């Protein structure tokens, strides 16, 4: 961590009231991000990664969802802010961009209007001034003929362009934190790489903290400073990116890395998938959530929740055993 944390999340818990009971989706998530730092939150679908971020900005409908914990930003707990207050934060101090650019944009409104909305709301820009600024933003994210394209509709843009528009909407008020939830998953590999580059560029220029949510470890390597690995709504491992890839102490992280397909002629015949299925929030084991699928699991894993240990100052693992014991 390179300085004071800009956002500090403590013991975030989110559960959903379903017909079949209370489903705990996020179970005690704790992390910090500093200015200019990039934190990657990695997990499978259903690991609670998206839900945790949406909870930060109170974007979850609170009858079915129950949120507890702390998310400290500018000295206040985001989770307990009143509606008018949290609205001032959304899109302004903390911005979130989502996965599918086709559905994330309103199909019946011009992108100009959609871009101007936050400018109007948070910066009080109107009329031509707002349009100018919007055109500048489109320019900044690499959209040609920005001024003319303000009056176009989302379906008139390609996938990569649309995502750039979404990014422009996200950074338009120069937020302190940008949360990118699977922002490049729906794009092809080349566009993915370009977009990642552009976001990192913007991050440098604006000094934003970046929270990158993904299931793709390959992306993580190129983007993150610190990585948090989630499973069953809990942190399994947390480390600086190099440390994670070099030392991969948690069995789940190992499994994830091992399952990455290896290009080249001497590939193994089979892909190494982690056996089993993602956990059902309604049926989590009492102990370690990964225990049903862990090849090293023993009785204590299933019955007792492992504490978070810190073998190194900046590297945490939630496992009953030391990696030396497991991988000797």
Partner 1 sequence: MTEVPTVAHRSRLRTTVETVLRNRLAVVGLIILGALIVTAIFAPLIAPHGINEIDIANRLSGPSTDHWFGTDDVGRDVFSRVVIASRVSLQVGLISVGIALALGVPVGLLSGFYGGKVDSILMRLMDILFSVPAIVLAIAIVAALGPNLVNAMIAIGIVYTPIFARITRGSVLSLRDAVFIRAVRSLGANDARIVISHILPNVIAPIIVQTSLSLAFAILAEAALSFLGLGVQPPNPAWGRMLSDGRGFFQQAPWMAIFPGLAIFVTVFAFNAVGDGLRDALDPQQRSVIEARGAGE
Partner 2 sequence: MATVTGFIARRIGQMILALFGVSVIVFALIHFVPGDPVRIALGTRFDPDVYDALMKRSGLDRPLLEQFVAWLGSAVRGDLGVSFRSQQPVTGLVLERLPATLTLAGAALFLAVGVGVPLGVISAVRQGSKLDYVATAASQVGVSVPDFWAGIMYILLFSLTLGWLPPSGYVSLFDDPAGWLSHLILPATAVGLVSASIIYRFVRSAVLEAFNQDFTRTARAKGLSSRRVLWDHVLPNAWIPIVTVIGLQLGFLLGGVVVVEILFAWPGIGRLAFVAVGDRDFTLLQGTVLYIAFMFLIINLLVDIIYGWLDPRIRYD
Taking a C-beta distance cutoff of 8 angstroms, is the pair 296, 326 a contact? Answer: yes
**Residue 326 touches partner 1, criterion: CB under 8 A:** no
Pairing of strands 234-240, 226-231: antiparallel
Q: How far is it, in rounded angstroms, from Cα 127 to Cα 134?
A: 11
CA angle 53, 56, 57 (to 5 degrees): 105
Phi, psi angle pair for 215, to nearest 5°? -110, 0
Q: Which residue has the tokens 């989706």?
A: 25
How far is residue 201's CA from residue 204's CA, in Å, rounded to a whole number? 5
Binding partner of residue 98 among partner 1, partner 2, none, CB cut-off 5 to 8 Å per kind: partner 2
Q: Does 100 bind partner 2 (CB under 8 A)?
A: yes
Do 90 and 57 contact (CB within 8 A), yes or no? Answer: yes
| Residue nearer to partner 1 on the CB measure, 260 or 277 | 277
Among 294, 316, 317, 318, binds partner 1 (CB under 8 A): 294
- Residue whose token pair is 């580059």: 197
Q: Which is nearer to partner 1, 207 or 275 (CB)?
A: 275
Binding mask 112-151 for partner 2 (x = CB under 8 A): -----xx--xx-----------------------------
- Assigned token pair, 166: 């979404």
| Residue 196 touches which member of partner 2, partner 1, none, C-beta under 5-8 Å by kind | none
Q: For strands 177-181 and 94-97, give the pairing.
A: parallel
Per-position b or e across 120-141, b if 16+ CB within 10 A of its CB: eebeebeeeebbebbbebbebb
Tell which positions 264-293 bind partner 1, by CB under 8 A. Answer: 275-277, 279-280, 283, 292-293
Considering only residues 44 through 73, tell me which ones interact with partner 2, judged by CB under 8 A: 57, 59
Instruction: Choose the stretch contacting partner 2; rule: CB under 8 A; options: 87-95, 233-241, 263-271, 303-311.
Output: 87-95
Q: Which does 155 bind (CB under 5 to 8 A by kind): partner 1, partner 2, none?
A: partner 2
Binding test (CB under 8 A) with partner 2, winner from 89, 224, 239, 317 = 89
Residues of this chain that interact with partner 1 (CB under 8 A) are 275-277, 279-280, 283, 292-295, 297
Residues of this chain that interact with partner 2 (CB under 8 A) are 57, 59, 87-92, 95-96, 98, 100, 103-109, 117-118, 121-122, 153, 155, 166, 169
């Amino acid at each position: 961590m390179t300085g004071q944390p800009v956002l500090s999340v403590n013991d975030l818990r989110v559960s959903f009231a379903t017909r079949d009971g209370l489903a705990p989706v996020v179970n005690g998530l704790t992390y910090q991000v500093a200015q200019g730092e990039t934190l990657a939150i990695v997990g499978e679908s259903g690991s609670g990664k998206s839900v945790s971020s949406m909870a930060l900005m109170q974007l979850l409908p609170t009858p079915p969802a129950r949120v507890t914990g702390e998310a400290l930003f500018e000295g206040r707990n985001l989770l307990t802010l009143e509606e008018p207050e949290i609205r001032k934060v959304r899109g302004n101090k903390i911005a979130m961009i989502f996965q599918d650019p086709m559905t994330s944009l309103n199909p019946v409104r011009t992108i100009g209007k959609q871009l101007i909305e936050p400018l109007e709301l948070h910066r009080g820009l109107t009329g031509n001034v707002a349009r100018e600024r919007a055109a500048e933003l489109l320019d900044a994210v690499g959209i040609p003929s920005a001024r003319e394209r303000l009056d176009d509709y989302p379906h008139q843009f390609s996938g990569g362009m649309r995502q750039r528009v979404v990014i422009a909407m996200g950074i338009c008020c120069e937020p302190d934190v940008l949360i990118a939830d699977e922002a490049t998953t729906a794009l092809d590999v080349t566009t993915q790489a370009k977009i990642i580059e552009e976001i990192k560029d913007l991050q440098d220029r604006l000094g934003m903290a970046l929270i990158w949510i993904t299931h793709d470890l390959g992306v993580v390597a190129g983007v993150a400073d610190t990585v948090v690995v989630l499973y069953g709504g809990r942190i399994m491992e947390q480390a600086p990116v190099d440390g994670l890839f070099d030392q991969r102490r948690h069995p789940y992280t190992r499994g994830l890395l091992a399952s990455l397909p290896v290009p080249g002629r001497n590939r193994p015949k089979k892909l190494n998938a982690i056996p089993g299925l993602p956990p059902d929030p309604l049926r989590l084991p009492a102990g370690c959530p990964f225990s049903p699928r862990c090849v090293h699991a023993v009785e204590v894993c299933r019955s007792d929740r492992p504490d978070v240990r810190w073998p190194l100052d900046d590297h945490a693992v939630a496992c009953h055993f030391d990696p030396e014991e497991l991988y000797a």
